[in-house]
A and B are shown apart, each in its own frame.
Chain A
Amino acid sequence: MGLQRRFHHARLLAALTFASILMTLPFSASVIARDFRDAVNEAVGILGKSRPGGAGSRENQQAVITLVTAGEKSLQPLLEGFRDATPEGQNWLRNTFEQVADRILQSRKSLPASILEDFILNGSNNSAARRLAYETLLRQDPGLSKRLIPSMLMDAGQEFRRDAVMMLLDQAESADAADAVSLYRRALSGAVHSDQVGKIADRLRQAGEEVDISRHFGFVTEWKVVGPFDNREEKGFAIAYPPEQEVESANPFAAEYEGMTGPVNWQQLVSNDDYGVVDIAKQLENFKGSLMYLTTTWVSPVKQSLQIRLGTPNAWKLWVNGKQIFQREEYHRSTRMDQYVVPVELNAGGNQLVLKLCQNEQTQDWAQKYQFQLRVSDAAGAGVLQGQAVAQNVYAEEELR
């Protein structure tokens, strides 16, 4: 009897234990899943916050191990982590993503195609992360480009735009004349790279069409200039002549100053160049060992985050609304469009841009340029004209290039 009771108790205990396990299983699984998600998100957060200077690299390495161990489930969080990541953090996230993707593909498993494709197609996601997802998925699905790229002509990511423009150019090259013009016009609407824009403009002009390249890129072509001031021995770069003192004190500019060759006044300077080049040497004079101040007002309908893109072989300083945003003391080491990219916050209404441009006294043929080209763009490099507001203000995605 005692044995029977003990057996009965044992059966009851076993049944209760089993029942309790069954009852807690969903709870345990959800706890584990939540802990797992938390661990993945925490690791992504650690990588995304990577700071300049290399600090925290050991902690980052631990986070990478967590994410690589999590495998496929970490792919989407890694991509989403790009949004708030520092530039260093984006590189950590990218490297971890590549490690996970490589392991999946090397083990002959499939990448989560629908998750990645959805991420790519969501234009509000970080452009670099979308491009990473796209190029990774392309390894598994070579047909992806034909499916996705044609709709990316106005994408926030400049690489997607480039691919879309290239597809249209290919079509245009084999189209009849009327269709070709239409295709080139369409391609031009999305083109942000100078080589593609130049090629399209050539084709359209050959077809008798008018193309305003300067307007397309958003070059600022109308300036007021005053100078020359003394920059002999390159000393003027560091000297704050009166216009510079006035821009920093927010006082209105005086009408006349004492320059290096006598009194100087503000005068109008307009560029008719396709690429917005304002050429001091040709339009005024190549005053050796001099510097000029140039100013313009750029009107924005709203407060917005944009980029100022500058190209010049001369030393320069740039102020926006009285605040110096960058300076560079380098002479005649080449120039090109978009040589310097500076993120700016522009106010609603008029924004005052002031440029200090310095020429030195080098005598070589290749050291005679005294010029600049300046435009306003969005993060993808598309030109923004005065009076325009851009839909996406994502300048933080692209650091000073």
Chain B
Amino acid sequence: MNRFILGTICFNVALLSGLETCAAGDWKQFRGSYSNSVAGSENLPVELSGSTIAWKAELPGRGLSGPIISGSEVFVSSSSGFFQDRLHMLCFDSASGEKKWHRQFSAIGRTMTHEKMANATPTMATDGKRLLAFFSSNDLICTDLRGRLIWFRGLGSEYPNASNSLGMSSSPIIVHDVAIVQVESDAEAFACGIDLATGETLWRLNRPRAANWTSPTAIVTRSVKSSLVLLQSSKGITAVRPADGSIAWNFEGGAATIPSTTVSDGVLYVPSNGVTALKVTAEGVEEIWNAANLSPSTASPVVYNGQCLVLNSSGVLSSGRIADGDRVWQLRLRGPFSSSPVVSGGHLYAFNESGTAFVVRLEQERGTIISELDLGEQVLCSPGVGDGALFVRSDQHLIRISRPE
């Protein structure tokens, strides 16, 4: 056994042994606490019907941001006003749908987006003590769980050219006590790590100047030193250390600028020439396989139980084997999909843009649609799962879907 292989094995043992695991119950950021769209055993309903809609709560303005869940509370952002410059953060009781608080802020940065998008497109993030709300205008707001302001950053005014007239969508993540944001446009592009306690910039990294709607993801270990933040762009993936922004390695094989990378068991599933699986090594990453026929469109890949699940632009769900990337089955849903699906309890839940929810039973050899439910409202957000329920939002409503009591 040569030194490289030995080093790789040792690195992966160290990485996996220190890897944080997703706790059931919370959904702390875009695509879940570990950005993989997989929920713990939440006992969600598989036969969707009107009776599985536990409640609908009214929302102000517009929003594509997904709900996040911490304990028994659900949080979501919206934007309103003729210029979409009114920024909203809202908190609801998970069980009853009662609105617990509602805070508003004024956007400092540019608020223009494509009419399909809204200023409130990035999903919020929480570490269970603090909330981060980020907007297309690059206003970044940190409050406690009661909506009391901890700090406010107007990144849109600090860097006035870092905006996209179509809108920005990258959602922030929290790695240990560092807030990570990616702000990438044709005119200016950067990523930064911000001290979650004070709001001050810990590091700032210039990024490729090009429009980019992907969100950062991370390999989170128990130590901030061994954790890695993964920044995706058309150039590929750059892994940086969250504490100081230093670059650990680069993957330069190119990547998509809308769907984001998914990490599962230390392997990266990158939307790159279809999907490219990358294994993290002591030296960086090495390609395991590339599957050009797994073509994620807007939705990001989901990895679950040996399968890499991808929704393409035609609304077809494909399952590839994570061992070799071979496509095993396909299932036609009715698209288009703007949101990333979630998986819980052996079932995939996907919401198309017209608001139809699909429940797909996942098996190794096939996927089967178990039920559908038309919510009657446009759904562009990625849903959240927590507190025994599935939460999804339209412009008008936050909706709880769960088993009838």
* Interface residues, chain A, with chain B CB atoms under 8 Å away: 50, 52-55, 57-58, 60-61, 64, 87-88, 90-92, 94-96, 98-99, 102, 128, 158-159, 162, 193, 195, 313, 326-331, 333-336, 339-340, 399-401
Contacts and interface: CB of A to CB of B under 8 A. Distances in A.
B315 interface: no
Contact of B152 (A50, A313, A333): A50
A400 B158 CA distance: 11
7 contacts: A54-B152, A54-B153, A91-B152, A95-B149, A98-B147, A195-B82, A327-B161
Contact of B82 (A61, A96, A162): A162
A340 B164 CA distance: 12
Interface string B211-227: 10000000000000000
Contact of A193 (B82, B106, B107, B111): B82
Contact of A95 (B112, B148, B165): B148
B83 interface: yes
B82 A339 contact: no
Contacts, number: 113
Interface of B: 81-83, 85, 101, 103-112, 114, 141, 143, 147-154, 157-158, 160-161, 164-166, 185-187, 194-195, 198-201, 211
Contacts of B154: 52, 87-88
Nearest to A335: B165
B148 A64 contact: yes
B165 A333 contact: yes
Nearest to B83: A401
Given A162-B82, A334-B166, A339-B165, A57 B148 contact: no
Interface residue SS majority, chain B: loop
Given A95-B105, A98-B104, A400-B157, A57 B186 contact: no
A26 to B, nearest CB: 37
B104 A61 contact: no
B157 A91 contact: no
A54 B186 contact: no
Contacts of A87: 106, 108, 154, 157
B396 to A, nearest CB: 19
A58 B198 contact: yes
B108 A99 contact: no
A401 B111 contact: yes
A152 B404 CA distance: 49
Contact of A330 (B101, B108, B186): B186
B293 to A, nearest CB: 26
Nearest to A312: B165
Contacts of A333: 164-166, 186, 211
Given A330-B164, A333-B186, A98 B152 contact: no
Most buried by B among A333, A334, A400: A333
B369 to A, nearest CB: 35
A61 B150 CA distance: 7
